[in-house]
Structure 1
């Protein structure tokens, strides 16, 4: 490695280094056709790359690699030169930092796609080496996580699957038609969160094809979509989610001038959320009392109660955020207000991950930081870190499922796959996804960010028109599967009719217990009688065979609160509208009549942080009103 690095270091001009790469590409023997198979493909490279690894009788690692791109073949030749004949620990211990001396395609020396090539080929070689060493030592291999393989022809399960919820993916046409008819007749819109019970998701997905005013999304978009439905003539909005979601829908509709549109929850009892509850405590208010003693901004996660937002905003100027805009919100606030302190809450995992992300930014160049936010540099990021605080006692129990055991399994079996992680996952999973993101193999963000990332990678594979298998590890609740499958199928199905199109398959890996997925047949060996949800064919669904609650066996889709949003409740509410006999009074998302400690309307004060966020999303700057509140509290 040292000699190779010295050789490339002596070449001053990039064109000279590329020529040397091409020289190595010509010198290496081409891989046999038997090795250029899909099982040896490396994911994440623009060109096709194949890697073979074996351990010889002396215990040395023998590697071979090839590509259909000459420059990429040169990269492969360099890695083969460095690693072939090494001890296993030498292969697994190598990092991309060790390759910086080659000065080809690494930071400061070329394009991002070439960085990815170095790293992804190396990771693939290391994964195969670890597996071979484990086999030689007689270690029992990890059992793969459950997964779905999505193709143009259908969706097929891999692994052991529970059976109890199989019926939920066979939408009853009578129920679908009943729901569609009543929604049309009474002009009812439906907004539902991604993490609904699979029975409800199946029915809603099918009903969407006949009634456009049904939308499944994250919590922020639910309120925006409700406004669009009201503008389109819907007289009622039914909300499938926890109570803070219906509160937000009610408040935003009022702000938009649609106070006459009724908003209904799915239960006459409280539909709670452990994370939202964490902010509605005296401990959280004490946290904000500390914030009020300095020039501070409170950044609160959108998934909290309107009442909490109102009380917080009177203590400390507050802006809401989502997992997709929280980093930009924080960076912009620090850029606009000198010496500002920011207090984030209530999600402790997300707070820790934001701080870790910013700490990693201190290792980036000023140019790389400017791409993320043009008004920041290494110095500014270092200076703001001590002034960024996050609440320590707020967690969503669901996200504990991405713990140490799961992370170790991902490192061993899925290190060369695309990794996705919601900002709320624990630190180990977050760090793993961040590392993958740096080499173009991962995404960290909101549920929508994850969905968009998967969509973009699939579209890129289709555009290359080369047979490919893409594997995505889903680092968020398995309730996302319905939307992911629908999106992927919408991309793959058009290619089915063309004999000249390449075959692209997509595998969605669930890094949880195999009990987290239910299959739709009583026996995998008896054949896959896939369930049809609208135009989407599914063979498995998220959800558990038995039991309730947030755990590694289902996440939000199995939460007892989320399960209060049942199909029977939706039909009951819809059939009783308009509620002339006042049967649904407990289901109605009433306006807040409470007053804040300063005697103001909870609804008015609680909406202001949301409106601040909307202003920020539109202008990319904190609104002047919020700046005034910070500087002149």
Structure 2
């Protein structure tokens, strides 16, 4: 290590005079000498250790190290060390120089999520108000990377650490791909995020504790009233399950439901699905396909648990597949609405489509699946239209630009998804050609940059559920859960989208559909159970809370199959401060003061949730769709009881809208509305826009000219 010190010391002394370090108090050659003096006069390494404080169980450092405010000094040190082999050796030397980390500090609370190896991080403030970090890993290389961060960040104030962004500096160490594998690079960034979180906590900032469910192989532990409400129906009433299975099987009723059902309904459906095969819970796209399979298997009726556009799609697709004789029923005679679908039927959307139709260039309307058949049909009559989902919108748009020269793409009606799509493509334009070709083989930086001005999105359509994940909730998530796994539906506002995209870069996030979110959690859990040590994955659920039932069942199935009782998943439900209601602040005249001090009597911190109210607000958190909740278990059993009896006549109002009105070409709106869906199916099968759609795009362009 003496050789390494001989290199480090002059490099750091040179670096101290650089402009990078001006303004950082206490960083003097004397302090640097203290930092580099980790060998004694006889060359033996000083036994610098961490030990419990006499006044608290936290860890304190015997000797204070004051390193540079960035990785600049260490970067120079690595550059001066020679080739990749020498740099790897230097990294291992740094690992050996890390002070021992006490065994009793290797707790789950100190663990860093998202690392292939086990990594622990601890931080505390010294007497001067500066952070002192400790870290350890069961991998020597990862320990070396931890040492880089410990030596770079220790000695800074919390505010200085929060300003540190050293993504590019890691590659500047030039460790080579053999040492700096993608998983280790991600682990480095996750360690930094964990350190930033601890800096934020030690700065005195309020870090909320959101409601959560801790899921193990055989147990679910809720924290917070909202989580308790989600958990209470995960183990359904056997009598309700028996009653549902009996009526479905006796009357040959198929049942399709969306992931966003009420927990009570989902719990019963999930249990009943183990005994009656014609129950399917999924994204909206798959619901209609499942209904067709049920009809083919002999079901004479299909019950749809979802909003109206879902039952309408089921009805239309069954008709297209030749199953017009199969009855389809919603769960209410009243409208089961959707704010997003309704936005596409507003006059503003007609104006948006009129502008697309009037474009002198070829135009394609990419419409979200979460819209009515009327919207799809009337839009297609104005502008060639293809349906998309949150999981295939990126590929659909990229393929359109690659396949039709000079095309303008108009996406709608979800404003957040459109804006997020534009942000994502701008980020893609900064990637290398090789990375872009991996995303889509017919694109490169130049082609992606050229398409950006020709991508348009509607600016007045939102889902009231995903709107909840706005600026405040995103800020709270970033502050308190930035080191957790972050999931976000493509429909969330840009702030939450940006958080999940940032996390995705380091292997800790996903943006996409509900199925994408479920698959991501399953993938990360499958990786965890392959590792030989206990683990807890903390996952922030950035979509409708109804997803929790599907997640819990998937998680428990994976854990039971792996025989792992020492691995858990904690599902976190984000909440805005407006959603926090307690007996203390409920009657407070000073609302701002009450929100600033969210504590229960006795000084206990409040767990956000419906402790004294609903636990949700128009400004964020506890996402729960009121329309979806119209699909109650009582409504389902009531509909099923009437099917096949004289009382079935009373279900006339429960049938989806038939959309039998005719367009100018003689087709019904229902039939015409299916065409954009069929175009999407063709695209999914061939990975190209269907020839008929391309011909329509070019034909209408020629007519316009």
What is the TM-score when the length of structure 1 is the normalising length?
0.89
- Deviates further, 19-28 or 623-632: 19-28
Q: CA deviation at 1:101?
A: 5.5
SS of the residue aligned with 1:319?
strand
User: In the alignment, which residue of structure 1 is the partner of 2:398?
Assistant: 331
Distance 2:350 2:109 in 1: 55
- The 5 A counterparts of 1:173-572 are 173-294=238-359, 295-496=362-563, 501=564, 503-512=566-575, 552=620, 554-557=622-625, 559=626, 561-572=627-638
What are the superposed Cα offsets for residues 222-262 of structure 1, whole Å, 9 maximum, x if unpaired? 11111121222211111011111011111112222222222
Whether contact under 8 Å (1:274, 1:395) holds in the other structure is: yes
Whether contact under 8 Å (2:213, 2:227) holds in the other structure is: no
User: In the alignment, which residue of structure 1 is the partner of 2:65?
Assistant: none
User: In the alignment, which residue of structure 2 is the partner of 1:145?
Assistant: 210
Cα distance, 1:342–1:544 mapped onto 2, change above 3 Å: farther
Q: Does 1:90 align with 2:153?
A: no
User: In the alignment, which residue of structure 1 is the partner of 2:590?
Assistant: none
Distance 1:543 1:215 in 2: 33
Whether contact under 8 Å (1:478, 1:542) holds in the other structure is: no
Whether contact under 8 Å (2:211, 2:227) holds in the other structure is: no
Distance 1:133 1:228 in 2: 57
Q: CA deviation at 1:543?
A: 12
User: In the alignment, which residue of structure 1 is the partner of 2:644?
Assistant: 578
What is the TM-score when the length of structure 2 is the normalising length?
0.80
SS of the residue aligned with 2:101?
coil
Q: CA deviation at 1:164?
A: 7.7
Distance 1:167 1:47 in 2: 35
What are the superposed Cα offsets for residues 373-411 of structure 1, whole Å, 9 maximum, x if unpaired? 122111111111110000011111222211222112112
Whether contact under 8 Å (2:254, 2:291) holds in the other structure is: yes
Cα distance, 1:14–1:203 mapped onto 2, change above 3 Å: same
Q: Which residues of structure 2 form unaligned runs of 5+?
A: 1-70, 581-608, 701-705
Whether contact under 8 Å (2:470, 2:620) holds in the other structure is: no
- The 5 A counterparts of 1:601-616 are 601-616=668-683
Q: CA deviation at 1:94?
A: 1.4
- Higher-Rg structure is 2
Distance 2:253 2:568 in 1: 38
SS of the residue aligned with 2:654?
coil
Q: Which has the higher contact order (CA 8 A, sep 6+)?
A: 1
What are the superposed Cα offsets for residues 247-279 of structure 1, whole Å, 9 maximum, x if unpaired? 111111222222222211112222221110110
Q: Does 1:111 align with 2:181?
A: yes
Q: CA deviation at 1:552?
A: 4.5
Q: Which residues of structure 1 form unaligned runs of 5+?
A: 518-540
State the Cα RMSD in Å. Answer: 2.8
Q: CA deviation at 1:168?
A: 5.1
Whether contact under 8 Å (2:488, 2:543) holds in the other structure is: yes
SS of the residue aligned with 2:115?
coil
SS of the residue aligned with 1:421?
strand
Distance 1:373 1:432 in 2: 24
